[in-house]
Amino acid sequence: MRVFACPQSVTWVEFEDKGCLQCGAELAYDPETDEIVLAEGRSLCVYRVGIGCNWVSPGYGSPCRSCALTTARPEGDDPLAMSQLTVAEFAKRRLIRQLLHLTLPIDPRRGGTGLAFEMLAPRNGEQVLTGHADGVITINLSESNDPHREGLRIQLGEPYRTMLGHVRHEIGHYYWQVLVDGKAPLDSFRRLFGDERQDYGKALDAHYGDGADEDWALTHISHYATTHPWEDFAESFAHYLHIADALETAAAVGIHVAGPHGVPEPLAGSIHASGATDVAELSMSEVLGRWHGFTLALNSVNRSMGKDDLYPFVITAEIARKLDYVHELVRDAVA
Ligand SMILES: [Zn+2]
Ligand SMILES: [Zn+2]
């Protein structure tokens, strides 16, 4: 993500901010220009009050570009569901901004095709499964709830689980359908990710049963990615978005990893990184070279705070080839 400033006081403001702490100006985010602007005189998203959406809208009384993609949401009279929706929509706006930045196609759902989000809060013990089906992304809003999500993370043995991670994963399924399926011969996809025609339901049952063999980490970015080629692609896609966004942020704030000091060569010389504003201008091996230096440095900083690693994953050569496939797909897909 780039860095934003209040247009009035020129102090640092965050992407999510609705006002400037320095000068008190009301602020909004304009997705068309990727700028934080003064809210005065602009039409603002109708969900600004209800869920704190700070985006500009295309017309008075209408939702913004991100909120317009949500076709099902809880009612305003349920405070818990509304606070969960607020958290989920924060993550989704970060996702949509990145898709616009990468110029990926976003076709709002019309007449049974295109992209839509259903933000559902389970009621009375009913089950809501987070997932993607033919352009419709369903999000179980309980995942906005930290204890619930953290409990599941531990139960499923996952090193990382966030709402932003969920929406980045599910949009990966959407782009498989839009950019891979039926668009190109599937040979190169199948060589890397496997044959997606295998039974999905059986694969999922097997995953939550015996689990994969112990060598999975050599070939898959996460244990969940081993369930089915679709899941492997969605996980790879999510990681590509994580890496691209974090490197954009590193470049925007000017983080340069000059290498560890006070250690002998070659270690000191081998770990360094500078940012990349736009991963599209780099090859995937250049991207991953920079990413390696950043994650070593930032993981160590997190550990200094008693936190888990910022990026608790290892990218092997085989996983790098899958990320390269995603990289080429994204570079070729100009909206
Ligand atoms: Zn909005
Ligand atoms: Zn999935």
Cβ contact 19:25 at 8 Å: yes
Cβ contact 16:25 at 8 Å: no
* Span from the CA of 139 to the centroid of ligand 2 (angstroms): 12
For the CA of 167, the nearest ligand: 2
* Span from the CA of 56 to the centroid of ligand 1 (angstroms): 7
Cβ contact 237:168 at 8 Å: yes
Total Cβ atoms within 10 A of residue 144: 24
Rounded distance between C-alpha atoms, residue 139 and residue 156, angstroms: 18
Rounded distance between C-alpha atoms, residue 314 and residue 326, angstroms: 17
pTM (two decimals): 0.95
> What value does the mean pLDDT take over residues 145-149?
91
* Span from the CA of 321 to the centroid of ligand 1 (angstroms): 36
Rounded distance between C-alpha atoms, residue 231 and residue 237, angstroms: 10
Specify the pLDDT at position 209. 66
Dig out the tokens for 104 from the structure: 């990926």
Given a cut of 60, is residue 212 above it in pLDDT? no
* Span from the CA of 3 to the centroid of ligand 1 (angstroms): 20
* Span from the CA of 15 to the centroid of ligand 2 (angstroms): 27
- Using only C-alpha atoms, the chain has a radius of gyration, in whole angstroms, of 21
Specify the pLDDT at position 274. 82
pLDDT digits (tens, 9 = 90+) for 305-317: 999 999 999 999 9
> What value does the mean pLDDT take over residues 208-230?
85
Phi-psi region of 211 (alpha: psi -120 to 50; beta: other; left: phi over 0): left
Contacting residues for 284 by C-beta, under 8 A, at least 6 apart: 320, 323, 324, 327
> What value does the mean pLDDT take over residues 93-102?
97
Q: How many CA atoms lie within 13 A of 39 on its CB side?
A: 16
Given a cut of 80, is residue 211 above it in pLDDT? no
Place 269 in a pLDDT band, splitting at 50, 70 and 90. Answer: confident
For the CA of 129, the nearest ligand: 2
Place 213 in a pLDDT band, splitting at 50, 70 and 90. Answer: low
* Span from the CA of 115 to the centroid of ligand 1 (angstroms): 16
> What value does the mean pLDDT take over residues 52-58?
97
Cβ contact 174:115 at 8 Å: yes
Rounded distance between C-alpha atoms, residue 139 and residue 166, angstroms: 8
Place 164 in a pLDDT band, splitting at 50, 70 and 90. Answer: very high
Given a cut of 80, is residue 205 above it in pLDDT? no
Cβ contact 65:76 at 8 Å: no
Residue 220 main-chain phi, psi, to 5 deg: -130, 140
Of 77 and 106, the structure prediction assigns the larger pLDDT to 106
For the CA of 133, the nearest ligand: 2
Of 261 and 73, the structure prediction assigns the larger pLDDT to 73
Place 46 in a pLDDT band, splitting at 50, 70 and 90. Answer: very high
* Span from the CA of 46 to the centroid of ligand 1 (angstroms): 7
> What value does the mean pLDDT take over residues 108-114?
94
> What value does the mean pLDDT take over residues 117-139?
93
* Span from the CA of 165 to the centroid of ligand 1 (angstroms): 20
> What value does the mean pLDDT take over residues 284-292?
94
> What value does the mean pLDDT take over residues 2-30?
97
Q: Which of 12-26, 199-213, 246-260 has the lowest mean pLDDT?
A: 199-213
* Span from the CA of 230 to the centroid of ligand 2 (angstroms): 7
Please choose, from the candidates 329, 328, 294, 330, the residue with its C-alpha nearest in 3D space to the C-alpha of residue 313: 294
Give, rounded to a whole angstrom, the gap between the first and last alpha carbons of the chain. 19
Specify the pLDDT at position 9. 97
